[in-house]
Amino acid sequence: MRIFRWIMMIIVAICVLPFICTLLADMIVAMAGCDFNLGASQTCAIGGLEIEPALYFLAMQGYALFFTVPVLILALPLWAVVEIVHWLRARRAAPLNAE
């Protein structure tokens, strides 16, 4: 059961990662005061360093959500069902303290 939980946590983390990347890109753009658009190439520099390619990469990760959200929608209920079944079996197998 422990391995299953680790696998499910990794799957959930991978599914949430594109959202975090997109959010991070948006926060960096807001803090830097840049005008960022995915459709047009614009400059965005922080401390003299051009960060537009990195921001573009982070922002484009949002399109991976089209693939990861369905996996997450399937994985979370599956995880919940497996945990409930495990809990019910453990509860049934536990000896009763009848005195």
Q: What confidence score (pLDDT) does residue 90 get?
A: 87
Q: Which residues, 6+ apart, have CB-to-CB distance to 4 below 8 Å?
A: 82
Q: What confidence score (pLDDT) does residue 51 get?
A: 86
13-17: which pairs have CB atoms within 8 A and are 24 or more residues apart? 14/68, 15/68, 15/69, 15/71, 15/72, 15/75, 16/68, 16/72, 17/61, 17/68
Question: How confident is residue 99, by pLDDT bands cut at 50, 70 and 90?
Answer: low
pLDDT in tens, 9-64: 999 999 999 999 999 999 998 888 888 777 777 788 888 888 888 888 988 998 99
* 3-state helix vs strand vs coil in the chain, percent to 5: 75, 5, 20
Q: What confidence score (pLDDT) does residue 36 get?
A: 79
- Quote the pTM value: 0.75
